[in-house]
Structure 1
C-alpha cells in the first residue's frame, strides 16, 4: 500500500482534569512526561506514527490556546498541520474539522484518528495492525475501530460487542456499551464477545464524510458553508470559523452507535488509556507492597497500593497509607483515595469556586 495516501489525525485538545493537579489547563496531560523519558505523551504518539507515515501526513487538532505548545514540542510539523479549535466541542466536531481539511486535498485518503494520551507498549504489533486496517478500509467502505481484548473486568472503559458477521476476519459491531458496573463488567469479560473501546478509528475519508452527512447534518451544514477555506495554504495554524456553532457531541454517540457499517478489529498491543490515576497505576512499576512512585524519590513505610508523583527534586516519605493517590504539582498537593478518584473533577470545581483560576 502507498503510505502517501494514509494520514493520521491526533486529537490533542483536552484538559485531562482527572489527572489534576499534575494536568492543568495551562499544560494538560498530553504535554506531560509521565515516565521521565524526556518525551511527552503527544510526542510519543507522533513518534509512533512517524514510523509508518510521512510526517507531513500527520495532523494535530488542538485548542487554540495550545498552538504554540504543540509547535514547540513538534518542530518537525509545519504550522499548517496544526488545526485549532476555538473552543472545545467533543470528538465529533474535532474529527469533522480534520476530515474536511484533509478532504480538500486528499479526498481518497485513509485516515487513522488517535487520542494523544494513550500508551502503547507493543508498538510493532500496533503499527502492523494499523497498516492492515488501512488496507481494510481502502477495500471496504466501513468505519473501523480497534477493540482491546479485556484482561480483567473493568468499569472504567466502554465496551464493544462483536457480532458473528465478519469481513476478512473483522467483526461487525453489534452494540456499543457505556462503562458498566462491576457485575456487568464480569459478564462482559467472561462472555468473550466484548472488547474494550480503545477510541482509535480508521476509515476512508469518503466513508466518514458520508456518515457525517447522514447522522450529523448539524455539523456538515456548518462545514459545507466553509468549504472555501479548507485546504488553504497557510503558514499559521488553521482555525475554522464555523467550529463554535457545532454541537458538543462525541463521535461514538453521534455516528458510531448509529451507523450500520461499523466494524471492530480485536487487538492486543499493550494498550492503556491514560485517563485516570488508576489507569496510570495499573501500568506503572511497583514495589513489593504494590506501591508505584513516578519521577520523585519515595520511601514507603507500612504502606501499600499507593501511587505517588511529585516534582523530580522532591522526596516523599509515606507512612500508613493504603490505596491512595499522592500528587503534587505547581503549588497543589492532592491526597485522595484511589478508589474514589472520580471525585477529583468535583475537587477541581470546588477549588475553582473558592480560589478562582489560580490552581486550575
Structure 2
C-alpha cells in the first residue's frame, strides 16, 4: 500500500544562541546538546521514522550543511536532502518542499518540523501526528500542534483557539508571532492561547492552495521548476535570491481561515537557549548540569557546564547559576540570566579583527 504521509525536517538554522558550541560551520542541530548519544537532528529522525518510512522523509537545510546531514542521517536517500542557496525564512522552504513532494505524490500529506526540538513524550506526540494526518487527508485544514504555555515568553508564536467541549482539534481564531512581553502576559491570563511549536501538518494540496491565495507572487516563482530532475537545482539557484524573506506564520497562518490546532502535551521544548538546556538536562546533587568528564565543582550550584575536550580537567569554584562552555576555539562564562545576550556577544566578536575564526 502506498504511504501518502511525508515529513519535512527543517534544519537550516545557525543557532547563534548556542555559541560557542553552535557555530556557522557546525550548528546546533548537528550537536548532541543533552548528552544522549544522538544529535538533535538524529533524535528528530528517530522519532518521526517510527511513523514514516525513510524514503518519505526529507530534510531542507542550508547548502553548506547537506554533506553534514548525509553523514548524520545515512538512512535518508541523498536526493531527499535539499540545500537552500540562501536563508529565506520558512515560507520559501515550505513552498519548495510541498512542490517537490507533490511532484512525487499528488495525494501527499506532510508534517513539517524543526530539527532541533526536544519532545519527551514521544508516544503522545506520535498519536497526535497520526490524528493530524487523518484530519488533513480528509479536510482542507492547515494544522499546528499547540503547547500549553508555562510563562509569557516573547520568543514563541501564540495561537488563540476557539474552545469547544471535548474537541480533539480547535479552530484557530488568531495567530500571533512573537508578541512583546505585555501582550504575552495578556495571552497567558486569558487562558485560550497555546504556544506554536512550529510543527505543522497539512496536505500538499491544502498548503499549495494557501500559497496561491496568500503569497501568489512567491507561488508563481516556484511554478516553473521541473522538480526532482537535474534541472531543479539550477532553477532554484536562480529564483531564491529574489524570493521574499517571510515566515510561514506571517505569510500564511496569520491570514488563512482554515487553520486548526491540536493541543499537545508532549513534553516539548525548542531548546532555544542554554537555560532551556539546563532545565531539561540531568543534574547532580548540586543542580549542576555537567556532560563532561573530569569536572570538579566547589561551592557551585545551578550551572550548565560543557567542556568539549574530554581529556581536559576543569575546576569550578564559587559560581552559581552560570553557563560555562569551553570549545576548541572559544570559552563562554556568563550568568544564565544573560543567555539572551549571547547573540550580542557573537555579533561583537564578529566585529573584532579576524573575529570570524571564533564562529
TM above 0.5, yes or no, is: yes
Whole-Å separation in 1 of the counterparts to 2:172 and 2:274:
30
- Which residue does the alignment assign to 1:298? 295
- Aligned: 1:247 with 2:244: yes
Deviating more after overlay: 299-308 vs 216-225: 299-308
RMSD, matched Cα: 2.2
Gaps of 5+ in 1: none
Match of 1:273 among 258, 270, 276: 270
- Which residue does the alignment assign to 2:346? 348
Give how far 1:194 is off.
Answer: 1.4
- Aligned: 1:174 with 2:164: no
TM-score by length of 1: 0.92
1:113-162 Cα distance to aligned partner (Å, 9 max, x none): 00000111111111111011100111110100000122344444332111
Match of 1:329 among 311, 327, 330: 327
- Which residue does the alignment assign to 2:49? 50
Whole-Å separation in 1 of the counterparts to 2:114 and 2:234:
19
The equivalences for 1:42-191 within 5 A come to: 42-164=41-163, 169-180=168-179, 184-191=183-190
TM-score by length of 2: 0.92
Deviating more after overlay: 212-221 vs 173-182: 173-182
Give how far 1:25 is off.
Answer: 0.9
Deviating more after overlay: 33-42 vs 175-184: 175-184
Give how far 1:183 is off.
Answer: 5.6
Q: Answer yes or no: is the 8 Å Cα contact 1:323–1:337 preserved in 2.
A: yes
1:345 is paired with a residue whose SS is: helix
Q: Answer yes or no: is the 8 Å Cα contact 2:160–2:194 preserved in 1.
A: yes
Match of 2:312 among 314, 320, 325: 314
Total equivalences in the alignment: 356
Whole-Å separation in 2 of the counterparts to 1:165 and 1:245:
43
Give how far 1:349 is off.
Answer: 1.2
Whole-Å separation in 1 of the counterparts to 2:317 and 2:2:
54
1:77-109 Cα distance to aligned partner (Å, 9 max, x none): 221111110111111111111011011121221
Gaps of 5+ in 2: none
Give how far 1:19 is off.
Answer: 0.3
